[in-house]
A and B are shown apart, each in its own frame.
Chain A
């Protein structure tokens, strides 16, 4: 009888663990409550979303130094931050790559890239790669738009920045801007998820 009880407990435990793992692997869906983080910025200070008591939400962008798609979007990420920081939705960029695999994405190269390009937003290092799997980022760049509701940070949009990674002048749909504008006018974004080609995250 005791054996049966133990086996039962073990089975339940295994199922719960498996479900938990699955959730982590799948990442966030629209409406999920996103985790806060405390990660090192390029100025060596730790940055967390609680540092922004006045923010209405955040444009979290997983990006890096080395991916050509990320590089192609750098100016557009700066423009997003400039446009929406004052309106309550600052950009926070996070480099999820393992620098042991991709040397060009190490901390000193992040500092250099941010300085060269004049990043106006924090550029954080996901040390130990603990944050990006919780969000479910699969590529760079990958945007998660969060909206503060009470004490929660609800995921309102997941995907690409706009519909033309290759050429900013040819963009006909600005996904992130449209989503932020919707939130600013008290609505939910109409387009909640988009897919795009990007560089896989280096584990």
Chain B
């Protein structure tokens, strides 16, 4: 069942009085800064974790408030950049609080110019969905799954770029 709870599209702009004096050029820049976040529940996540195609997926669970997660994000961005033309998808599943999307998550994505796709996991029943993601997962983040149709591996740890690339290539190599 494909059910997107809410698609939030937020246009970051200055207050309305500032907008009146904004130049044409400025408006274009603001539109480019448009950030879309899909809200997903467990059904959506399950689809995301079980795609049966020729791609390899790197799914990272993180949050803006999680320091080790933020520290390892550059590794995921670099992986995204280096492998996006090589049949690899990098998806960042945020576990930020729903009410902090506008105040924290979107400003964070803009500030760091995050390129990989970001989705927000909003399913509140964590005790049910955490074990379904992986029986090995305590619920601590960062956590990462790398999988393709042949193989899957779960990690409850932080990554450096080299470690991450190493795990990815191991999984791609496996037939």
Contact = CB atoms under 8 A, between A and B. Distances in A.
Task: Answer yes or no: do A and B interact.
Answer: yes
Contacts of A197: 95, 126, 130, 139, 141
Given A68-B100, A200-B68, A195 B124 contact: no
Given A68-B65, A197-B130, A202-B67, A163 B140 contact: no
B127 interface: yes
Q: Please list the 8 inter-chain residue pairs (A to B) with the smallest Cβ-Cβ separation, ordered nearest first.
A: A164-B124, A194-B127, A195-B130, A195-B139, A196-B126, A200-B140, A68-B65, A138-B140
A163 B141 contact: no
B127 A163 contact: yes
A172 B67 CA distance: 30
Contacts of B97: 68-69, 72, 166
Nearest to A167: B124
A151 interface: no
Given A164-B125, A195-B131, A200-B66, 12 more contacts: A68-B65, A69-B97, A101-B67, A163-B124, A165-B126, A166-B97, A195-B130, A196-B126, A197-B130, A198-B139, A200-B140, A200-B141
Interface magnitude class on chain B: 20 to 34
Q: Per DSSP, are chain A's interface residues mostly helix, strand or loop, or mixed?
A: loop
B73 to A, nearest CB: 15
A170 interface: yes
A164 B141 CA distance: 18
Interface string A140-176: 0000000000000000000110011111001000010
A113 interface: no
Interface in A90-108: 101-102
Interface string B69-111: 0000000000000000000000000011111100000000000
Contacts of B124: 163-167, 170
Contacts of B139: 138-139, 195-198
A160 B127 contact: yes
A198 B125 contact: no
